[in-house]
Amino acid sequence: MSIRYHGAYNAKTDVGRVRKNNEDQAQVLMNANDEVLLVVCDGMGGTNKGDIASQIAISTFIEEFHHKKKYHLLGSEKRWLTKIAKKANAEIFDRAEHDPACRGMGTTLVAALISDHRLISVCIGDSRCYMLKEKNHIEQLTEDQTYVHYLVSTGKITEEEAMSHPDRHVIMNALGIYPALSLSIQEYEYNGESVLCCSDGLYNQVPVDEIANILSTDERCDQKVSSLIAVANHNGGSDNIAVALWETISHD
């Protein structure tokens, strides 16, 4: 039996305090199937139109989500997310190939699809998805596809060293850079937890514990999103900031 969720959601981006252009995109949607989709994209390329890449990616997901069918077979949601990510990748790559002004553009992508008792996350790059497992405690569902994460996972550096490593902003995967796409996709049990998707402009400026504390307050959903962005800017705002938040109020 399908589950109908009742919740609050909000998505915002901010240019930050250093960058001149905002290349981030964030969106939270519900469709006619009572499913929820969170998407965050962090455009890359600077003068090479990273904002166009992130806009193409998020527009593709929004359009396809509104026309999505409800699947019941195991693995169908993963196949749908993979299909849409590949479509967005092809559109960005094709635009860059035919428009010299867009050559080399790309974007990260993190998306979370909530359907009944399942949450499926897809990650390309270093934007993240978190789940609030209990008050003041969040769990990172995605794995950063970055050079420093590789160094940490292979034991070459520690987590502490990664935080100040000179190559900490180097990502090893992005949407639209190559004709073929590599992505990470995972499925989790979902029981009404709050879900946050964000770009590195948030988590590089706001400690995870502080993010969890803000999500655990009694503020409205939109106030929490604004608070997260305000703290990121207060702590330096060195990058664009994208935040997408879903909170379940009840489900039946």
Q: What integer is the mean pLDDT of 55-65?
A: 97
Q: Is residue 139's pLDDT more than 70?
A: yes
Q: What percent of the chain has pLDDT over 90?
A: 78
Query: Where is pLDDT greater, at 212 or 46?
Result: 212
- Stretch 23-45: mean pLDDT, rounded? 95
84 and 77 Cβ atoms separated by less than 8 Å: no
Percent of the chain with pLDDT over 70: 98
- Kindly tell me if the per-residue pLDDT of 46 is higher than 70: no
Q: Is residue 32 over pLDDT 80? A: yes
Distance in angstroms (rounded) separating the CA atoms of residues 153 and 84: 29
Label residue 46 exposed, middle or buried (CB < 10 Å: 0-12, 13-18, 19+): middle
